[in-house]
Structure 1
């Protein structure tokens, strides 16, 4: 049990296949004694895309409440790397009881209470499975020149003939931008103000630029994520965007309903990540693991 002014934390590389890859996430335990302003200061101190704080639940049926913040102080509540990494830290460091090979917990994220399945081999965590919210399809953006200008690309790089540029949500509304190939995605250099304007007009939080041109032929898509609305220039693995993309790929018949979708992300940042999604109708689930690379205490 944490003593006064001491707060245990873990550092997790989420969706990583080896240490120092994936998306780095600090996870702070027993955070009920921290007010929101201090959580934001701690997030700024860690200086990662997001930091997650684990608290006691406030809604019936929840096991833990999770709050996640970005460095500029925005709170995010989608079930992405911020949540999966927190559950991985709890499971991998012995804070969850492994009384069967698959144990279901429930996380309070914003207004939602969603199930989380932790898969174990003996007492060792093997995988986390998180249910996303029901898919919702939002506005489309039909001007390829405007899209391209916001991303530092040419209009011909934007592939609206095959997919719409559309806001889709499975818990967080992100604008999915289809691009012709992986090379064009790697060339993207977003203009923050233009992209922010586009996202505001479309009702999107972040921008997921994708192509069906993965590095690994066994994968489905290759993507990058930019989110100026919450102060993230680029994110190396974004589960809240992989959910919407997998839903759109099923809706457009790229993969059949009930399939596994593998999305590659983070390659342009030197932090390769593989994100696994499974879609069956309105049931959208994120699969993944992580690597705890550090742990320590905060003295506040």
Structure 2
């Protein structure tokens, strides 16, 4: 519609420090926008954009649609953190629990006060464990990432996981190797249809003072994202993968760890991951993150 204005926010997610973490755009009160207008806005701002809308039925409290600069996608973790942070902060929405409808189904949101600011938690069903890719595709992917076979963690098969989008998980034996990755983005995009994964999530286990966590990098050139700063959705996949392959052992049916990403982009951020499981089978995934508003604006749609 002409002459209608929207409130737009630029938010950094999985951080409390501006200009770090993963940036997302949030548009509030987007119910009057058409699909074409949503896509136009996402293309104009050249970022992953979350459009917040009212609920359409009684099984959810509100809904969010996600657009990349190229097309709509079912779910974006960091943009969900950003959208719920803005909604609570700027519209004074109550904290506690709510249900958010997405293209990937309904996810549970919890907004809590932590250290004088808001923290957002997303709880959802676990991703699907896909195939371990065959040897000839394995070699192609490693060549495209600039990774040698001896650099791989021996207990980490190259496996596809899917939740909304799909990612190929690649485990390295040391986090020191993450900085040496030299991706061939054109080749990685070409391989997407062959390996069945839109992106490549490369990670390593790290231990600090006896506490195990992860460091990672992610490349999604098929979606127009050469390197993603900090991905909540991929960290959920990673948690399920680590439990399934026995790389993290549940205590009282739960695994909790911190995943760090974005250091090589000078946009460090942190995701807290909790997996509820029965043995090696994940029952639910919880992603927790902070956010900070960088700026807000009124735009004409």
Normalising by structure 2, we get a TM-score of 0.88
Q: Would you say the 8 A contact 1:13–1:292 is kept in 2? A: yes
1:209 is displaced (CA, Å) by: 0.6
1:79 is displaced (CA, Å) by: 4.8
Q: Could you say which residue in structure 2 is the equivalent of 1:135?
A: 127
**1:241-276: per-residue Cα shift (whole Å, max 9, x none)?**
000101111122222220212111000000001111
Pair 1:67-2:65 in alignment: yes
CA gap of 1:233–1:276, structure 2 versus 1, over 3 A, is same
Inter-partner Cα distance in structure 1 for 2:130 and 2:107: 22
User: Aligned runs of 1:133-282 on 2, under 5 Å?
Assistant: 133-143=125-135, 144-159=138-153, 161-213=154-206, 218=211, 220-257=213-250, 258-281=254-277, 282=283
Q: Would you say the 8 A contact 2:126–2:236 is kept in 1? A: no
**Structure 1 residue ranges without an equivalent (≥5):** none
1:191 is displaced (CA, Å) by: 1.8
Pair 1:89-2:90 in alignment: no
1:91 is displaced (CA, Å) by: 1.3
Q: Could you say which residue in structure 1 is the equivalent of 2:28?
A: 29
1:76 is displaced (CA, Å) by: 1.9
Inter-partner Cα distance in structure 1 for 2:196 and 2:139: 19
CA gap of 1:157–1:248, structure 2 versus 1, over 3 A, is same
**1:118-146: per-residue Cα shift (whole Å, max 9, x none)?**
11369x65311111223311011243422
**1:82-121: per-residue Cα shift (whole Å, max 9, x none)?**
11110011112243124xxxx1111111041121111136
Inter-partner Cα distance in structure 1 for 2:10 and 2:22: 10
Inter-partner Cα distance in structure 1 for 2:238 and 2:194: 20
Q: Could you say which residue in structure 2 is the equivalent of 1:6?
A: 5
Inter-partner Cα distance in structure 1 for 2:12 and 2:210: 24
1:222 is displaced (CA, Å) by: 0.8
- Aligned residues: CA RMSD: 2.3
1:178 is displaced (CA, Å) by: 1.2
Inter-partner Cα distance in structure 2 for 1:171 and 1:33: 25
Q: Would you say the 8 A contact 1:226–1:232 is kept in 2? A: yes
Pair 1:43-2:42 in alignment: yes
1:34 is displaced (CA, Å) by: 1.5
Q: Could you say which residue in structure 1 is the equivalent of 2:300?
A: 299
Q: Would you say the 8 A contact 1:13–1:290 is kept in 2? A: yes
Runs of 4+ in 1 over 3 A off after TM superposition: 213-219
**Structure 2 residue ranges without an equivalent (≥5):** 278-282
Q: Would you say the 8 A contact 1:152–1:190 is kept in 2? A: yes
Q: Could you say which residue in structure 1 is the equivalent of 2:280?
A: none
